[in-house]
Structure 1
């Protein structure tokens, strides 16, 4: 590790329930990197510091006025000059299978919440189970759209369903996303996805974006399971170790 990555000057800007944020913090801890934790969701001063950098999304790793978006751990490794090697992603077809499984799971889970529970914010994040179920489908849809030439934008991750939507409405919309996702993959001419796409954190290999889409959606599905369990409800067909294997997921479910 270089000198730049050994002091308390390093800050991580994050918010609760953010899967990439949790993974970034765990990764830095595993690498022995000390950092100052800045929760932009619950600390107005932390949010002001983030905005002062000229950034509106998290996670962000910064040193002084310099920063990197942390959607890709490769960028974090490069920014901090860490001496570590990241694992290769799973094959594209396997990543698509994992997304297929989580979308099917969320279609079951959303119906297990009562109408009141579906619209009740969870823990220290103003996000409801209904919004998170919607978010999982939107993640998959945005990954698909990136391959179709639509730039991946961070603002799209903040989209939520109409407040009047019920579990049936969310599942109906999600099942349509699922069908379109399956049709997209069936028509994919390059099963190895050897091409680049446009994202808010730069031009990226689509294989990298697909991996992030898969683990991001999977992590949030784990959180939906946690939400059910917090109400004493066993998830209908929980994700298994096999569903998680090989994905660069955080160890913790919420943080």
Structure 2
């Protein structure tokens, strides 16, 4: 299926079209007069009249992988000197504080959604809210606290609960689909953090490999 990919951060015309639709978040797809916000690729499949994909793993397997990924983010943060936390990364120039906060800010609402059926995360000022972390240790502790609280609750999810529906600002998804989306998001940013670390002369210790991130599916592009 042919499509045109546009970057609202690099293409002023694309940004104007996005703003004209009144959307607060990304990504989204447009087909003629129709558009859909996308949290999980199955929403795009449904929008295009395609069959949903088969789950690559159980909720428990995916939760285990997500826990490994989040722990690896925490370990990476602790390897970066505090004085480099404000250095721009290749991810649109966001510094490490902002990018790591962006990963973890989504996780507590996912934890709460397991009981409420509502995922209440919305995009906010990640830069401003991440300024409170003054040292690498403080940022790493934040990562650890978020991950630990989430994984404790996620470990209780059975197969039936995994397929219950969750209301999000981007439509209905299952708990499994929500976790898949956040696992991929965290994994992509982890890969970008490794690139940033090498750029500032740090070889990541205990670098998580693609095999160790499985069954999280990784894209070909890191950025």
Q: TM-score, normalised by structure 2?
A: 0.86
| 1:151–1:200 CA contact under 8 A, matched in 2 | no
Q: Relative contact order: is structure 1 or structure 2 higher (C-alpha 8 Å, sep ≥ 6)?
A: 2
Partner of 2:82: 115
1:196 has 2:165 as partner: yes
Structure 1 residue 180: Cα displacement:
1.0
Alignment of 1:1-255 (within 5 A): 32-35=1-4, 37-82=5-50, 86-123=53-90, 125-149=92-116, 151-153=118-120, 155-156=122-123, 159-160=126-127, 161-165=129-133, 166-186=135-155, 188=156, 190-192=158-160, 193-254=162-223
- What does the per-residue CA deviation read over 1:137-161, in whole Å, with 9 as the maximum and x for residues that have no partner? 2233232222132733452465344
Distance 1:93 1:221, change over 3 A: same
- What does the per-residue CA deviation read over 1:35-65, in whole Å, with 9 as the maximum and x for residues that have no partner? 1x33212333322210212212111111233
What is the distance in 2 between the residues matched to 1:173 and 1:33?
A: 42
Distance 1:207 1:128, change over 3 A: same
Deviating 4+ runs (over 4 angstroms): none
Q: Find the residue that maps to 1:197 and give its secondary structure.
A: strand
Structure 1 residue 66: Cα displacement:
1.6
Unaligned 5+ segments in structure 1 are 1-31
- What does the per-residue CA deviation read over 1:190-249, in whole Å, with 9 as the maximum and x for residues that have no partner? 354231111111122111111212222122111111111222321121112322333232
- What does the per-residue CA deviation read over 1:96-143, in whole Å, with 9 as the maximum and x for residues that have no partner? 111211121111111222334211222361411122222222233232
Distance 1:133 1:51, change over 3 A: same
Distance 1:156 1:235, change over 3 A: same
Count the aligned residue pairs. Answer: 220
Q: TM-score, normalised by structure 1?
A: 0.76
Q: Find the residue that maps to 2:30 and give its secondary structure.
A: strand
Unaligned 5+ segments in structure 2 are none
